[in-house]
Structure 1
């Protein structure tokens, strides 16, 4: 392009540039390609990554994934490495960098389970390695390249298979659970051997550089409550097969390059639901890090070659940065700013620690793959998976802050329409995130869950607050809504909305609120505690904390952590659960509410939404409920995601425009 063309494009006014692009539609979001996984080669020169394609309408419910290769210096376009119509995922470089092991469900029958395959990097067909009785879930090479370690669940016994065929399949609660064991596969002999006891459920693992030991996180049962809140870090001696318990902790877990330390996460004493990075050196006790940090470590955790620094992703306010964490001094040093979803950032580091891979976004582009020079912080883009998005009109995304009623600073994200004009008041939707420990970020918003750019493209201002209980301001801020759901966190949200009114942005006659999971809870809380909102969207929201404590798949520890145990036997706990359950205040509701819920949601079971919907109806409040068959807490099928986006946009447009 000639230089004068570049200059002419640069002189276009924001209004003309916005007119040249069209509004975002739900179908645009449903058709996005996703960056699913990536690994850097040992020498740091190449990257292998996974692309998840949009769901094929001919095979609803399925999304194909393939492996791709790209040089990390950005000098060549990515090339496809695999092209199976089935899932190819979890690529792992061999120690010599010549072969990639990966998991694939390709096979002759529809019920073929994921197994390990090997493919030469420079050409050749993929060859199956394992024929395990159940699906392989995780894998890693042995450092000498002689074989691989992998995890897989226990298989059904013959008696269990016989009963299934007879439809004699009654399920006993908390019985006959299938544990994930750690296995060793030897390439030369083509044999596999279980390494861990049948009573230990393996959650994550890493192999020491000398190949003599494995660090792993395990739980005494595969139930999510045990995995999330009661797991521990272990080492496994590969010579003696002896397992040694190190400390309570969660994954990811990583050996230091010299094998003299292990990095993992420990639970914060102020709120066991949140984790903090920790390092345990040989013969010592775990050292907890980032306790007094201004932000929250929400990704990364890979060792650099010096064995003193971890490469992490930290959420600070509503922004992110790639940083090194000095495990001796407990200090952070910024490597590069990132735009990436909270908890969605991954890091892969070369053997010499000089080059890393990260996923990163732009406000108009979802995750793409970038290489990072760790010393300088220089980012090199390696992919552009969704170039067609450049034709769409995206709103401005910025971090904002305000003061809550008690003076505490609260951060959030403001998204304004593409043709936003200062001084004009707009319909405004408050979008509350789930968790409650999570955080909105400066980056891309376009998914069934992040419907915000869809709304902004249609003329709606969106406020995404990170109230107390969120990531981004240290562990004490995360713990600040313990026992106080709907208390000061709610006041933080209202203060953010008041700030937009004060700035002349939000139209007080056209306010909406919505969210999923904890955001759904807060939506239910909002419509039972204020009449400010003219429309609400309650997605997979909690309405009755006592019922959730008896029915969710993350009980009892999750709600115990916030409100105490046994609300049925302890009057004080029962009072606390009721005082923070929106259904207890349903008589105050007047706001038209759209209730959305997965039909197979076991995290926040469907009756939580159904009761709230029916109570609204019986109160004479306008309400509509949609249940998505087969869907868990986060809907996966394209047609359901498309339906959610279409309904959310239509609901707010009908009530707020």
Structure 2
């Protein structure tokens, strides 16, 4: 077999493209619009959110801001040709909407009057800007910017060419201040606020506007998060005051409304707990300088939604649903809040009213934007689900079974609408990444696996929330510690046994696939079982030693395997797909991004070479210029087609070309 390099696909609308047994084309599926990031104005009367659409001509996704006034019909507010507009915020007085956009002068900050008019540019930074925050009185804007090359950097490159030192290839991010005056004809010049050999990774203004609190870490590299402390800087004299300095990672999240306390997350003294253990939330009192842990009664990772006059709000997964809670900051105890949706992405609170905006969905719909009041019915503002109203979408059912060791496992079973339990259906297993990801019921599941199309073609699909998945508590997430791959395979194969006991799957026609950790589990299945007719490994780990020495998150391996390769090679061998490569027999498609730092591409080549040497049908597709994900529409379309072809050939005995010349 040969390695295929994908650069792009041309002429996507060309009628010579082939796609049998599907009422919706892959292009139409990839072109589904998505809504995100709702923000409600301080007075609760105006809602803004982003809508993402697919720009095939520029091979990109376009984000634009939409607006709804007092719950009315939404309309498009911005139109930016290059990548769209993002990070929309209301000014503190609610008069302006600010956003980031690249309109030919790198990413700059723009504002537009809520009542209408043209957007004006209010920053002119030659390097472009990143995240930003309005001061409480609206007179200033703080923004973060990554440092540019210095004269020394440029001189070094001119003399010695390009080279990099591992662990030293980065530029620090610092804070800058911008005065805001809408009526001024001039774009103001920003002034630098922070400087030094550290990185700013998140920030917010104090309630009185006299200081800025931020997370300070030694550099922006992902593993440096363990060094993060919380500090504040005085605006007038730039004096930095340390606030939280535990031995491990500390990250500021949100002030209380009075500015007398803030909530933060910390691993306290354990630098590895950010992977499978529950995160920990604390409230720091500025007067007493004491911290109190909160929300310990939630056995899951917790996300802070907001801290406002109505309380401190957090969210957490509970199996295949998400829940919202208020936290009593004195006792640390939580109480459930009723938001009538199965999944909640974002909740935005207005400052001067009780109106909220919510991004979420029921399991039988796509993400939508809603407005309303807590504990009341919500009004849907967007109409995203209408895009699939006429599609032949699958039936989703959450099922449960026992794994080999007795662990209770859930999964989502997708069946065709004309499902007949007396028939035998091919089974395709699609495995999520993470491992702390979670699969939910979905009408048209995304990524690079055409699940909806296979169900329409006449298959059933099982999406397994294997041990390690979020939503089932810390103990469940810990079940694959020192048992990666092995326990995951138990969960997948026991799920297949459960479906087989119901009598409606054809075990002679089964396939498995997944990306990242799902790719690793699929690779483990490739070399440890012969039950499948075909497997697809997307950005998967094939050898934990190879992975450990080249990934950008080495602590991940040390935590889950509780060892380095040099201290315990046996556990690395036990859990690596390559250990049993000589037992492999399943035709395997391997998909990988060329510049993947999370799961570096040697993992793909190692598995591919092992399969090739054994004469097993295998194909390696390298997506040129991509990292861990395929985040452009044309290459995503290519990855979908490669999976469609592979499984159609080995599961459905159909040879289907991507296009006919």
What is the TM-score normalised by the length of structure 1?
0.88
Shift of 1:322: 3.4
In the other structure, the counterpart of 1:370 is: 370
Shift of 1:284: 4.8
Q: Mark the runs of 5 or more structure 1 residues left unpaired by the alignment.
A: 1-20
State how far apart, in whole Å, the 2-side matches of 1:237 and 1:466 are: 47
In the other structure, the counterpart of 2:594 is: 599
Equivalenced residue count is 617
SS at match of 1:584: helix
State how far apart, in whole Å, the 2-side matches of 1:614 and 1:319 are: 41
In the other structure, the counterpart of 2:4 is: none
Larger mean CA deviation between 327-336 and 609-618 belongs to: 327-336
Shift of 1:565: 5.0
- CA distances 1:471-502 after superposition (whole Å, capped 9, x unpaired): 01122222222221013232122222221112
SS at match of 1:222: coil
- 1:436-451 correspondence to structure 2 within 5 Å: 436-449=435-448, 451=450
- CA distances 1:393-412 after superposition (whole Å, capped 9, x unpaired): 10112222222233322222
- Are residues 164 and 44 of structure 1, via their aligned partners in 2, closer, same or farther at CA, if it must alter by over 3 Å? farther
- 1:134-173 correspondence to structure 2 within 5 Å: 134-162=127-155, 168-173=161-166
- CA distances 1:243-292 after superposition (whole Å, capped 9, x unpaired): 32414445571111122222232339684324525122313544444445
In the alignment, does 2:32 pair up with 1:29? no
State how far apart, in whole Å, the 1-side matches of 2:230 and 2:489 are: 37
- CA distances 1:451-485 after superposition (whole Å, capped 9, x unpaired): 43232222221111112211011222222222210
* Candidates 289, 294, 307, aligned match of 1:303: 307
State how far apart, in whole Å, the 1-side matches of 2:202 and 2:370 are: 25
Shift of 1:230: 3.7
In the other structure, the counterpart of 1:493 is: 492
Shift of 1:135: 2.4
In the alignment, does 2:361 pair up with 1:361? yes
In the alignment, does 2:100 pair up with 1:103? yes
- Are residues 445 and 218 of structure 1, via their aligned partners in 2, closer, same or farther at CA, if it must alter by over 3 Å? farther
State how far apart, in whole Å, the 2-side matches of 1:179 and 1:339 are: 40
* Candidates 214, 230, 233, aligned match of 2:230: 233
* Candidates 78, 84, 102, aligned match of 1:82: 78
- CA distances 1:193-231 after superposition (whole Å, capped 9, x unpaired): 33334222122222233323333233211111113x443
* Candidates 104, 121, 124, aligned match of 1:128: 121
Shift of 1:305: 1.6
State how far apart, in whole Å, the 2-side matches of 1:353 and 1:558 are: 44
Indicate conservation of the 8 Å contact 1:266/1:288, yes or no.
Answer: no
- Are residues 250 and 137 of structure 1, via their aligned partners in 2, closer, same or farther at CA, if it must alter by over 3 Å? farther
In the other structure, the counterpart of 1:330 is: 333
* Candidates 617, 621, 630, aligned match of 1:626: 621
Indicate conservation of the 8 Å contact 1:429/1:513, yes or no.
Answer: yes
- Are residues 170 and 458 of structure 1, via their aligned partners in 2, closer, same or farther at CA, if it must alter by over 3 Å? same
Over aligned residue pairs, what C-alpha RMSD do you find?
2.5
Indicate conservation of the 8 Å contact 2:22/2:453, yes or no.
Answer: no
- CA distances 1:583-622 after superposition (whole Å, capped 9, x unpaired): 1111111111111111121111111112101211111211
In the alignment, does 2:578 pair up with 1:583? yes
* Candidates 99, 109, 112, aligned match of 1:116: 109
Indicate conservation of the 8 Å contact 2:527/2:583, yes or no.
Answer: yes
Shift of 1:65: 2.1
In the other structure, the counterpart of 1:3 is: none
Larger mean CA deviation between 349-358 and 611-620 belongs to: 349-358
- CA distances 1:540-573 after superposition (whole Å, capped 9, x unpaired): 000011111111122x2221221245423x2x2x
State how far apart, in whole Å, the 2-side matches of 1:93 and 1:171 are: 41
In the other structure, the counterpart of 2:66 is: 68
SS at match of 1:273: coil
State how far apart, in whole Å, the 2-side matches of 1:505 and 1:469 are: 28
State how far apart, in whole Å, the 1-side matches of 2:455 and 2:363 are: 12
In the other structure, the counterpart of 1:390 is: 389
Indicate conservation of the 8 Å contact 2:413/2:460, yes or no.
Answer: yes
What is the TM-score normalised by the length of structure 2?
0.88
In the other structure, the counterpart of 1:4 is: none
Indicate conservation of the 8 Å contact 1:542/1:608, yes or no.
Answer: yes
In the other structure, the counterpart of 1:42 is: 42
- 1:635-654 correspondence to structure 2 within 5 Å: 635-654=630-649
In the other structure, the counterpart of 1:347 is: 347
State how far apart, in whole Å, the 1-side matches of 2:625 and 2:29 are: 21
SS at match of 2:267: strand
Larger mean CA deviation between 238-247 and 45-54 belongs to: 238-247
In the alignment, does 2:534 pair up with 1:528? no
In the alignment, does 2:57 pair up with 1:54? no
Shift of 1:363: 5.0
State how far apart, in whole Å, the 2-side matches of 1:356 and 1:399 are: 30
Q: Which has the higher contact order (CA 8 A, sep 6+)?
A: 2
Q: Mark the runs of 5 or more structure 2 residues left unpaired by the alignment.
A: 1-20, 653-661
In the other structure, the counterpart of 2:603 is: 608
In the other structure, the counterpart of 1:12 is: none
Indicate conservation of the 8 Å contact 2:36/2:369, yes or no.
Answer: no
- Are residues 251 and 41 of structure 1, via their aligned partners in 2, closer, same or farther at CA, if it must alter by over 3 Å? farther
In the alignment, does 2:193 pair up with 1:213? no
Indicate conservation of the 8 Å contact 1:255/1:261, yes or no.
Answer: yes
State how far apart, in whole Å, the 1-side matches of 2:586 and 2:340 are: 40
Larger mean CA deviation between 403-412 and 360-369 belongs to: 360-369
SS at match of 1:513: strand
State how far apart, in whole Å, the 1-side matches of 2:632 and 2:133 are: 30
Indicate conservation of the 8 Å contact 1:433/1:519, yes or no.
Answer: yes
Shift of 1:503: 2.0
State how far apart, in whole Å, the 1-side matches of 2:22 and 2:575 are: 43
- Are residues 384 and 394 of structure 1, via their aligned partners in 2, closer, same or farther at CA, if it must alter by over 3 Å? same
- Are residues 145 and 446 of structure 1, via their aligned partners in 2, closer, same or farther at CA, if it must alter by over 3 Å? same
- Are residues 251 and 281 of structure 1, via their aligned partners in 2, closer, same or farther at CA, if it must alter by over 3 Å? closer
In the other structure, the counterpart of 1:5 is: none
